[in-house]
Amino acid sequence: MLSVEEGALLVKTARVAVETHLSGKETHGAAEPSPGLREERGVFVTLLDHANGGNLRGCIGIPFPTRSLLEQVRIVAVEAATTDFRFEPVGLEELQNRIVLEATVLSAIEPIWVKNPLDFRENILVGRDGLMVEGMGSHGLLLPQVAVDEGFDSEEFLSQCCLKADLPPDAWLTGDVRVSRFQGQVFAEEKPNGRVFERRLKP
């Protein structure tokens, strides 16, 4: 688990990376990363429109540990702001005045093994687990906070994760997909470029 101070540095690093990318101006002044931020971890960056009720404005991540957390968050922050196909790219003024950033640090992703696909429901705790569904040539991932924010129970969470993978909502019942779970530690800004807090999800 990261400390709130580490989480704040992670979110600040994400914001600086996006500002640098959009403005073309190099920004320095990042503190020396702690051992926790040098670890290789999966991470997602979510952009929310603070001026419009916190609506989603972009979300991209790398779920698997391929480089240090600080390096990984720089990459996905820029991608979330500029390459999420669901949205127009974020502008610099919009970023500075409207957007709050959220960084979700992932635990290791573990497959859920069950004899009967119906048992997936009992092996997922909303508010603790995120989901990844893989199979039929596709995959989809939903962060733990999605189920909380949308009010999903475990069955609806499974169906929505299948839809995210462009699969039928009942694909998790077929035995043809692999369902995995993970946990996420969420750090978020209170307002654009504001104080960072740890968002604790309630199971």
E-only strand ranges, 21-171: 43-49, 55-62, 99-106, 110-111, 129-135, 138-142
How many whole angstroms separate alpha carbon 4 and alpha carbon 199?
10
Identify the domain containing residue 101 by its residue range: 4-106
Q: What is the pLDDT of residues 181-196, one digit of tens each?
A: 999 999 999 999 999 9
Amino acid 29: pLDDT = 54
> CB under 8 Å to 14, separation ≥6 — which residues?
45, 73, 74, 76, 77, 101, 103
> pTM of the full predicted structure?
0.94
CATH of the domain at 37: 3.30.700.20
How many whole angstroms separate alpha carbon 66 and alpha carbon 40?
6
Amino acid 202: pLDDT = 84
Same domain, 95 and 165: no
- Given 106, 121, 144, the domain boundary residue is 106
Q: Coil, helix or strand for 70? A: helix
Amino acid 30: pLDDT = 58
Phi-psi region of 155 (alpha: psi -120 to 50; beta: other; left: phi over 0): alpha
Same domain, 76 and 62: yes
Q: What is the pLDDT of residues 66-91, one digit of tens each?
A: 999 999 999 999 999 999 999 999 99
How many whole angstroms separate alpha carbon 123 and alpha carbon 116?
12
Asked if residue 203 belongs to a domain, the reply is no
Q: What is the pLDDT of residues 12-71, one digit of tens each?
A: 999 999 999 999 987 665 567 889 999 999 999 999 999 999 999 999 999 999 999 999
Asked if residue 55 belongs to a domain, the reply is yes
> CB under 8 Å to 47, separation ≥6 — which residues?
56, 57, 58, 59, 80, 81, 90, 99, 100, 101, 102
Place of tokens 């909380």: 148
Asked if residue 23 belongs to a domain, the reply is yes
Q: What is the pLDDT of residues 106-132, one digit of tens each?
A: 999 999 999 999 999 999 999 999 999
What does the pLDDT average to over 94-115?
Answer: 97
What does the pLDDT average to over 142-156?
Answer: 97
